[in-house]
């Protein structure tokens, strides 16, 4: 069977429009890849090949009639199991099906439907998106495809999203990001992850964790693929072909990159800071202007997270109001924090919120002389799942995992992670670019220029060692 799915998304979208390939061919390849690797990798909580075949037939029929519904027509993708979707149950990582209102398309999924994109299934996640390790006592964690010997964390909370890309059954993956839940799994699985500005994409129809910070997000194999998917889903752009043609002209020479606060670079596991710094040095050698720019607000935001942040109390409010019977069945790892959140006073909650808003105003000023601020996406090598199955180990690792990501959410910024190296354990290393709110187009342009210099993940770090 041909391996069309290894081609860039831009090329595949053009081939579909020009009738050089059928959506049905892509779906059959995706199904074959899942049949080959799915049982071992466990990316999907719900795998829907029959529905995907019917959707592919509809996409091909539209192409044959000369109708193009959107740039994602005929493209296989996966969605995280907290996106409500017509005809598909939603569990949000819990052990029971959510009520029917969580089976109605929200705006992001509705956009996929209008474009005749192909939903291959729903991917596993941490229960109610509360955590970054991927651990889930109800469903077990997907397996990180980069370690054939050890069951390592795939990241979370969008734990199956990056794995679906790694096994080859999806070209794009929808996730959500509240404290890093797109960027963490993207980094751990050697993919690209885009965290958009709060409110840029509607979170309606997405089971909430913390509405103060919840954002839908996107994972892809390359920056170019991510840029295509971003433009296809973003109401202000809509034409990925023109968008990529425009942003693809940016050269890395002259791009101003801040190396960030030392807080974002210190205390990394072996090979992580070194790999990220080597990538920055390669960009500098091609003319990028690297400047030292402090971002002390990232540390202050992380301190607020360590105090308890916002997710536990906001999830507790949602469960109390909408799903009270779920409280007694939560994963023990998260249950204590969620149940104990009721002790947080309104005064303390509002004080935390005011502090984050004040920090966000100050942080925005740090970008006056740079286009982006760079850092390692994560300071942590993906740990074996055995180390995070118990509450103590999970809490310790989770605190470290979000250190470089949560500040982006709390400070109201946008960010992208791209794979640039392998760490001391041979696992992927992500480089994070952070930009001002609303600057996604420039952010992706910078990352695409960096990818032109550094190469794609397959070119720079290889491919995950999937079994033959």
User: Which residues are part of the catalytic machinery?
Assistant: 80, 157, 181
461 CB burial (10 A radius; 0-12, 13-18, 19+): buried
Q: How far apart are CA 426 and CA 271, in angstroms?
A: 9
What sign results for the dihedral spanned by CA atoms 423, 429, 435, 437?
Answer: negative
Q: How far apart are CA 26 and CA 76, in angstroms?
A: 7
End-to-end CA distance of the chain: 14
Place of tokens 């909580």: 45
The CA radius of gyration of the chain, in Å to the nearest whole number, is: 20
User: Do residues 171 and 78 lie in contact, with contact meaning Cβ atoms separated by under 8 Å?
Assistant: no
3-state secondary structure of 218: strand
Q: Where are the beta strands (DSSP E) in 294-438?
A: 372-376, 414-422, 428-435
CA 361, distance to chain mean position in Å, is: 25
Give the residue from 65, 165, 69 showing the smallest Cα distance to 120. 165
Q: How far apart are CA 267 and CA 261, in angstroms?
A: 13
What sign results for the dihedral spanned by CA atoms 198, 204, 208, 211?
Answer: positive
Cis peptide before 73 (omega within 30 of 0): no
Q: How far apart are CA 307 and CA 315, in angstroms?
A: 16
């Amino acid at each position: 069977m041909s391996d069309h799915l290894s081609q860039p998304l831009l090329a595949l979208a053009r081939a579909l429009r020009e009738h050089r390939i059928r959506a049905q061919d892509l779906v059959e390849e995706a199904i074959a890849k899942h049949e080959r690797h799915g049982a071992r990798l466990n990316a999907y909580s719900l795998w829907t090949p029959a529905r995907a075949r019917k959707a592919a037939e509809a996409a091909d029929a539209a192409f044959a009639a000369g109708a193009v519904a959107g740039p994602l027509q005929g493209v296989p993708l996966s969605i995280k199991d907290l996106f409500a979707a017509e005809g598909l149950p939603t569990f949000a990582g819990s052990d029971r099906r959510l009520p029917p209102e969580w089976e109605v398309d929200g705006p992001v999924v509705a956009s996929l439907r209008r474009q005749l994109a192909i939903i291959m299934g729903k991917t596993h996640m941490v229960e109610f998106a509360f955590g970054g390790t991927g651990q889930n006592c109800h469903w077990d964690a997907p397996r990180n495809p980069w370690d054939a010997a050890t069951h390592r964390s795939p990241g979370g909370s969008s734990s199956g999203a990056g794995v679906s890309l790694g096994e080859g059954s999806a070209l794009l993956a929808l996730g959500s990001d509240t404290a890093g839940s797109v960027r963490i799994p993207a980094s751990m699985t050697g993919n690209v992850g885009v965290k958009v500005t709060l409110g840029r994409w509607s979170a309606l129809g997405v089971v909430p964790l913390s509405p103060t910070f919840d954002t839908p997000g996107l994972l892809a194999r390359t920056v170019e693929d991510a840029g295509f998917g971003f433009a296809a889903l973003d109401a202000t752009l809509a034409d990925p072909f023109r968008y990529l043609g425009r942003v693809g002209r940016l050269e890395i020479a002259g791009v101003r990159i801040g190396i960030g606060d030392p807080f974002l670079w210190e205390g990394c596991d072996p090979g992580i800071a070194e790999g990220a710094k080597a990538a920055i040095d390669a960009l500098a050698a091609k003319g990028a202007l690297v400047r030292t720019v402090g971002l002390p607000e990232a540390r202050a935001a992380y301190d607020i997270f360590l105090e308890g942040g916002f997710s536990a109390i906001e999830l507790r409010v949602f469960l109390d109001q909408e799903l009270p019977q779920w409280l007694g069945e939560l994963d023990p790892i998260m249950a204590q924090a969620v149940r104990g959140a009721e002790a947080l006073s309104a005064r303390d909650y509002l004080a935390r919120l005011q502090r984050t808003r004040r920090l966000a105003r100050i942080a925005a000023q740090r970008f006056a002389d740079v286009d982006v601020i760079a850092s390692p996406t994560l300071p942590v090598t993906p740990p074996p799942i055995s180390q995070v199955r118990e509450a103590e180990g999970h809490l310790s690792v989770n605190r470290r995992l979000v250190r470089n990501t949560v500040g982006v959410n709390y400070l109201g910024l946008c960010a992208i992670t791209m794979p640039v190296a392998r760490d001391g354990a041979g696992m992927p290393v992500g480089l994070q670019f952070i930009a001002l709110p609303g600057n996604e187009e420039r952010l992706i342009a910078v990352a695409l220029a960096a990818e032109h210099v550094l190469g794609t993940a397959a070119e720079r770090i290889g491919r995950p060692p999937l079994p033959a």
